Chain A
Amino acid sequence: DGGITQSPKYLFRKEGQNVTLSCEQNLNHDAMYWYRQDPGQGLRLIYYSQIVNDFQKGDIAEGYSVSREKKESFPLTVTSAQKNPTAFYLCASSIRQGTNTGELFFGEGSRLTVL
């Protein structure tokens, strides 16, 4: 079945460590996104990518980095520069950025906890 796979589901990190969250999709979608979800807040955009080897900062990119070397993969690295990384991270994809009815398809999320 087509879909978006995020891993790991749960991740614990010590302060000062970088961690990478994986996101893979087999929907043949061009656009991919990373969102952060905190209690009581709407999803906030971290980074997005419209095509391979290109990505753009979202609203809260500081302390995060991404790469898009393959169409199906969009990993997110949470660096030690991110001061409050404990959150639920959601990866999403759509047919392409800019389509009027482009539905966002989400992965199951990764919960990162800083110890």
Chain B
Amino acid sequence: KNQVEQSPQSLIILEGKNCTLQCNYTVSPFSNLRWYKQDTGRGPVSLTIMTFSENTKSNGRYTATLDADTKQSSLHITASQLSDSASYICVVSARGASGTYKYIFGTGTRLKVLA
């Protein structure tokens, strides 16, 4: 069964500190992995996309890593800001038997940054 698990469920950090969010997946065949940021009551917005051959990708203060062998990804946030308070969702794409792609969503990590 295709699954995406994220940890921790929730996290509270002080402004300016760094943090790392984890995503483990059992999805086959793997196509790509995305991290989305979702503010409360809003739609998710894409932060990064990782394909099978990519190990690291950065987007400003956000750095995503992918280890395709262990099927793990992480999202590192540097020098956190109050505006980073949101849910972060890991989404893995899998190619189905018919050739179409399916998106498998993790349950998200809720991050709270305190002043």
Contact B100 A108, beta carbon cutoff 8 Å: no
- Contact partner of B105 (CB less than 8 A), chosen from A43, A98, A103, is A43
Is B86 an interface position by the 8 A CB rule? no
Binds A, one of B37-45, B66-74, B76-84: B37-45
- Contact present for A100 and B46 (CB under 8 Å): no
Nearest CB in chain B: distance from A31 CB, A: 9
State the interface size on chain B (CB cutoff 8 A): 25
**Chain B contacts for A103, CB-based, 8 A:** 34, 46, 49
| B34→A97 contact, CB < 8 A | no
Main secondary structure of the interface of A (DSSP, over half): loop
The docked-state distance in angstroms from the alpha carbon of A99 to that of B93 is 10
A108 to B51 Cα, complex, angstroms:
27
Query: In the bound complex, do residue B32 and residue A111 qualify as a contact, i.e. CB atoms below 8 Å apart?
Result: no
A109 is an interface residue with CB less than 8 A from chain B:
yes
Do B49 and A101 touch (CB < 8 A)? yes
Interface residues of B in 93-115 (CB under 8 A from A): 93, 99-108
The residue in chain A whose Cβ has the minimal distance to the Cβ of B3 is A42
Does A102 sit at the interface, judged by CB under 8 A? yes
A107 at the interface (CB under 8 A from B): yes
From B99, which residue of chain A is reached at the shortest CB distance?
A98
Whether the Cβ atoms of A109 and B34 lie closer than 8 Å is no
The answer to whether A104 touches B91, judged by C-beta atoms less than 8 angstroms apart, is yes
With both beta carbons as reference points, the residue of chain B lying nearest to A99 in the complex is identified as: B101
User: Across the interface, do A42 and B106 meet the contact criterion of CB distance under 8 Å?
Assistant: yes
Q: Is A64 an interface residue (CB 8 A)?
A: no
A42-B107, A43-B105 known; A104-B99 Cβ under 8 A: no
In the complex, which of the residues B44, B45, B49 has the most CB atoms of chain A within 10 Å of its own CB atom?
B44
Which residues of A does B touch, CB under 8 Å? 4, 6, 40-45, 50, 88, 90, 92, 97-109, 111
